[in-house]
């Protein structure tokens, strides 16, 4: 079998045992790798309804058949598990040397179950697996941990670690790598913490073997050149994702004051030009020739240091909280990376708290823009002190505890907090959040571009069709092959490079029809996983689960060119129902029997019926 390794490493950290498990060829062809492989393994291995912090919940690190080859931005991996934040499927995508080392170890995935009785660093090389005592690292920040492990093992290893937030089971803790890459928004760092794993250190020894090396090198080089020669390359190198602050402001979608508004009076203090003025260096993931990691030096009246910034981080910790200028936002961002907290969920939790405080719904005082109190709160969340303990569960949980109107401004879908696009006038993006397979995230469909290009406050069926197309390419193909989507998304390189690269890597002819079918299979299996876990955990499954937050339907924006505008609930539901129809799901979003059969998911049919789901 070329292109894939055809096996995964299964670690039981409680028993300190491991085994190497073969993956059959059909599974690899039909799910490709990365997210596709992760959901198939979770479906098969996780006990139905398992608690996310149970030793029986599996934590999966998966790569795909294009990872680690010399082609654009191929140093990426997926980290997946049942989420302690949403109680459904959770994953994230992280750019790291660990992805390359995992491939060089000769595995398509590492799957971890169990719970250690004491903190561990797990070292995996081609020769051995060591379970090392990590008492001395427990409590350290992700930066301190990585520094220490690099000293111990040298530069030629890949490291994935957690900060104190993951140790303390904060439900939006992430896995961190390379001093500022962070993946697994829906609490993958907390799952790692629940297993008492402080870090994984990976050291491979052998390059993966492609089907046609010469062709792979040629197409890879062509694609690298296409990146370098693209129209947007030089501006991308200047601002990376941070250019989106100005774009979002102009288009009235910049999250501001907990998504009340789409414009921020002080946006120029946090935009890409401000970032350029503070930048001291730039870095990227392995094998990437368009590095987007912008490191700034910040100085505030309470601290100074370095931080790696991205659009989402700045918008969620800046405009969404009324905090500017960028020096202050950078401090918050630095703390999130050091503690291993997801910046997007954190920005939502802080924004929600500021609003709840303003409305006197909680016995705690924090005002919009108060970055010093925000820093105190970040620490309290990380160490689960005082109100921080409650907030560590995320906005869905907190709003349900408070009750009443708090639910209207808890900005999440399925428990995952919304990423940085305000959707009062963005129907396609709202649909993308509603139907994202991990809860509200833009990874699967950056549909805001459809709204901006094709008209706001319009609910055409074409928007739904385009959301599905985007999801299939981004969430289906890119999450499974597994490479960074930015060469295509940001610099517009030809999408046809990817089937060509897949053919050279694996020998399999992946036509676009086949890729869409695989994406549909992955989406339908993830959807079935949500249904299975929700029903067994006692939730009632309904269309409500896919609905974006009430704020966008009830409360119009007050500022900017779209002042007075909000979403229309009935027209949104029509879009959602059309979405279900196109996916082959019933009017409540449950996959139909014929869809499961067409996609080769007969095992799902059986499993869902066993727990009482009625399939139409
Ligand atoms: C991603 C999410 C994003 S999406 C951002 S900024 W973005 C936030 N980054 C965080 C951070 O940083 N520190 C922190 N403590 N928390 C953070 N949470 C947020 O996490 C990321 C890039 C980016 S930057 C994006 S869009 C693209 N995402 C890709 C994807 O999802 N798939 C894919 N095949 N390629 C992608 N390329 C781009 O990668 P999550 P990263 Mg991240 C500091 O992890 O869970 O997927 O959430 O992975 O290596 O940092 O790269 O404007
Ligand atoms: Fe990593 Fe950015 Fe390169 Fe993508 S474009 S691989 S996120 S450095």
pLDDT, tens digit, for every residue of 6-44?
999 999 999 999 999 999 999 999 999 999 999 999 999
Please report whether residue 215 resides in a domain. no
Please report whether residue 283 resides in a domain. yes
Give the pLDDT band (50/70/90) at residue 254: very high
Give the residue carrying structure tokens 């409650």: 390
pLDDT of 1: 77
Nearest-CA residue for ligand 2 atom 1 is 285
Expressed in angstroms and rounded, the spacing between residue 563 Cα and the centre of ligand 1 is 31
Q: What is the mean pLDDT of the chain?
A: 97
Q: Both 252 and 196 in a single domain?
A: no
Which tens digit of pLDDT belongs to each residue from 151-184?
Answer: 999 999 999 999 999 999 999 999 999 998 999 9
The answer, yes or no, to whether residue 366 has pLDDT greater than 80, is: yes
Please report whether residue 230 resides in a domain. no
* Phi-psi label, residue 572: left if phi above 0, alpha if psi -120 to 50, beta otherwise: alpha
CA-based max dimension of the chain: 65
Q: CA-to-CA distance for 616 and 603, rounded, in angstroms?
A: 16
Closest-approaching ligand to the CA atom of 186:
1
- Arithmetic mean of pLDDT, 449-476: 96
- Arithmetic mean of pLDDT, 292-309: 97
Please report whether residue 216 resides in a domain. no
Which tens digit of pLDDT belongs to each residue from 114-129?
Answer: 999 999 999 999 999 9
Q: Up-side HSE of residue 404: CA atoms within 13 Å toward CB? A: 7
Which CATH number is 461's domain given?
1.10.599.10
Above pLDDT 90, what percent of the chain?
A: 99
Give the pLDDT band (50/70/90) at residue 78: very high
Q: CA-to-CA distance for 61 and 291, rounded, in angstroms?
A: 23
Which CATH number is 304's domain given?
1.10.569.10
* Phi-psi label, residue 499: left if phi above 0, alpha if psi -120 to 50, beta otherwise: alpha
Question: What are the CA-CA distances from residue 384 to residues 330, 380, 392, 395, 576 (Å)?
Answer: 23, 5, 7, 15, 38
Q: Both 72 and 133 in a single domain?
A: yes
Give the residue carrying structure tokens 């074409």: 462
- Arithmetic mean of pLDDT, 354-359: 98
Please work out whether the CB of residue 313 comes within 6 Å of at least one atom of ligand 1.
Answer: yes
Q: Do 420 and 241 meet the contact criterion of CB atoms below 8 Å apart? A: no
Name the domain boundary from 364, 399, 420: 420
Q: Both 376 and 426 in a single domain?
A: no
Q: Both 143 and 242 in a single domain?
A: no
Vertex 578 angle, CA 577 and 580, to 5°: 65
Expressed in angstroms and rounded, the spacing between residue 339 Cα and the centre of ligand 1 is 16
Question: Which numbered atom of ligand 2 lies nearest the CA of 73?
Answer: 6
Q: How many domains does the chain have?
A: 3
Name the domain boundary from 394, 420, 446: 420
pLDDT of 24: 96
Name the domain boundary from 403, 420, 437: 420
Please report whether residue 232 resides in a domain. no
Which tens digit of pLDDT belongs to each residue from 394-404?
Answer: 999 999 999 99
Q: Both 25 and 96 in a single domain?
A: yes
Q: Both 158 and 256 in a single domain?
A: no
Task: Say if residue 470 is exposed, middle or buried (CB neighbours under 10 Å; 0-12, 13-18, 19+).
Answer: buried
Q: What secondary structure does DSSP assign to 52-111, as a single string? A: TTSTTS-EEEE--TTTTSSSTT--EEEEEEE-TTTSSEEEEEEE-HHHHHHHHHT-SEEE
Which tens digit of pLDDT belongs to each residue from 560-573?
Answer: 999 999 999 999 99
- DSSP alpha helices (H): ranges in 537-568? 551-554
The answer, yes or no, to whether residue 257 has pLDDT greater than 90, is: yes
Q: Both 313 and 329 in a single domain?
A: yes
- Arithmetic mean of pLDDT, 416-433: 98
The two counts, helices (H) then strands (E), for the chain are: 27, 17
Please report whether residue 220 resides in a domain. no
Q: Both 353 and 440 in a single domain?
A: no
The answer, yes or no, to whether residue 616 has pLDDT greater than 90, is: yes
pLDDT of 65: 98
Please work out whether the CB of residue 203 comes within 6 Å of at least one atom of ligand 1.
Answer: no
Which CATH number is 137's domain given?
3.60.9.10
Residues with CB under 6 A from ligand 2: 73, 95, 284-285, 288, 290-293, 484, 486
Please report whether residue 213 resides in a domain. no
Give the residue carrying structure tokens 């970055």: 371
Q: Residue 545: which of 414, 400, 409, 394 has the closest Cα? A: 414
Expressed in angstroms and rounded, the spacing between residue 312 Cα and the centre of ligand 2 is 14
Q: Both 601 and 583 in a single domain?
A: yes
pLDDT of 180: 87
Q: CA-to-CA distance for 532 and 44, rounded, in angstroms?
A: 12
Q: Both 476 and 389 in a single domain?
A: no
Expressed in angstroms and rounded, the spacing between residue 283 Cα and the centre of ligand 1 is 14
Above pLDDT 70, what percent of the chain?
A: 100
Task: Say if residue 550 is exposed, middle or buried (CB neighbours under 10 Å; 0-12, 13-18, 19+).
Answer: middle
Expressed in angstroms and rounded, the spacing between residue 398 Cα and the centre of ligand 2 is 34
Please report whether residue 212 resides in a domain. no
Domain holding 62, by residue range, is 7-203
Q: Both 371 and 465 in a single domain?
A: no
Please work out whether the CB of residue 344 comes within 6 Å of at least one atom of ligand 1.
Answer: yes
Q: Both 134 and 21 in a single domain?
A: yes
Which are the contacts of 498, defined by CB distance < 8 A and separation ≥ 6? 66, 477, 481, 488
pLDDT of 426: 97
Which are the contacts of 499, defined by CB distance < 8 A and separation ≥ 6? 509, 510, 511, 512, 515
The answer, yes or no, to whether residue 351 has pLDDT greater than 90, is: yes
């Amino acid at each position: 079998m070329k292109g894939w390794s055809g096996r995964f490493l299964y670690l039981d950290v409680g028993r300190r045992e491991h085994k190497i498990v073969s993956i059959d060829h059909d599974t690899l062809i039909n799910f490709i790798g990365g997210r596709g492989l992760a959901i198939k393994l979770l479906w098969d291995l996780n006990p139905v309804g398992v608690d996310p912090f149970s030793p029986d919940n599996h934590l999966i690190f998966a790569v795909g058949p294009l990872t680690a080859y010399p082609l654009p931005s191929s140093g990426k991996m997926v980290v997946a598990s049942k989420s302690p934040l949403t109680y459904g499927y959770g994953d994230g995508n992280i750019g790291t040397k660990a992805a390359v080392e995992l491939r060089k170890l000769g595995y398509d995935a590492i799957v971890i179950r169990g719970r250690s009785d004491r903190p561990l660093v797990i070292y995996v090389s081609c020769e051995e697996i060591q379970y090392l005592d990590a008492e001395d690292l427990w409590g350290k920040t992700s930066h301190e941990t990585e520094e220490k492990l690099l000293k111990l093992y040298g530069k030629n290893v890949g490291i994935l670690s957690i900060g104190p937030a993951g140790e303390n089971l904060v439900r939006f803790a992430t896995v961190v790598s390379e001093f500022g890459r962070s993946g697994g928004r829906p609490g993958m760092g907390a799952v790692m913490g629940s297993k008492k794993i402080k870090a994984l250190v990976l050291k491979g020894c052998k390059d993966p073997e492609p089907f046609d090396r010469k062709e792979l090198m040629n197409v890879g080089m062509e694609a690298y050149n296409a990146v370098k020669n693209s129209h947007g390359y030089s501006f991308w190198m200047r601002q990376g994702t941070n250019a989106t602050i100005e774009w979002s402001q102009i288009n009235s979608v910049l999250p501001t004051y907990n998504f009340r508004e789409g414009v921020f009076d002080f946006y120029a203090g946090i935009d890409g030009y401000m970032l350029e003025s503070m930048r001291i260096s730039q870095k990227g993931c392995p094998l990437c020739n368009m590095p987007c990691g912008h490191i700034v030096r910040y100085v505030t009246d309470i601290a100074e240091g370095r931080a790696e910034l991205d659009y989402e981080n700045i918008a969620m910790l800046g405009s969404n909280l009324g905090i500017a200028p960028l020096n202050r936002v950078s401090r918050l961002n630095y703390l999130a990376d050091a503690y291993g907290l997801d910046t997007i969920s954190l920005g939502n939790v802080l924004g929600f708290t500021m609003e709840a405080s303003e409305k006197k719904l909680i016995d705690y005082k924090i005002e919009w823009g108060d970055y010093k109190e925000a820093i105190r709160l970040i620490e309290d969340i990380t160490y689960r002190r005082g109100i921080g303990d409650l907030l560590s569960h995320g906005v869905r949980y907190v709003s349900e505890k408070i009750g009443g109107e708090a639910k209207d401004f808890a900005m999440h879908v399925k428990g995952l907090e919304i990423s940085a696009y305000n959707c009062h006038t963005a129907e396609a993006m709202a649909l993308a959040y509603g139907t994202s397979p991990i809860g509200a995230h833009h990874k699967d469909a950056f549909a805001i571009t459809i709204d901006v290009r094709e008209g706001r406050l319009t609910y055409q069926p074409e928007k739904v069709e385009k959301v599905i197309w985007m999801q299939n390419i981004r969430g289906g193909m890119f999450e499974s092959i597994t490479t960074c989507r930015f060469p295509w998304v940001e610099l517009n390189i030809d999408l046809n490079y990817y089937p060509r690269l897949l053919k050279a890597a694996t020998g399999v002819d992946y036509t676009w029809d086949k890729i869409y079918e695989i994406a549909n299979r992955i989406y339908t299996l993830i959807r079935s996983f949500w249904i299975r876990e929700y029903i067994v955990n006692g939730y009632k499954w309904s269309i409500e689960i896919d609905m974006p937050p009430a704020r966008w339907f009830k409360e119009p924006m007050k500022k900017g060119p779209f002042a007075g505008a909000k979403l229309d609930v009935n027209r949104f539901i029509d879009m959602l129902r059309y979405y279900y129809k196109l996916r082959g799901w019933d009017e409540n979003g449950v996959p139909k029997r014929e869809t499961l059969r067409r996609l080769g998911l007969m095992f799902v049919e059986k499993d869902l019926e066993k727990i009482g789901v009625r399939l139409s």
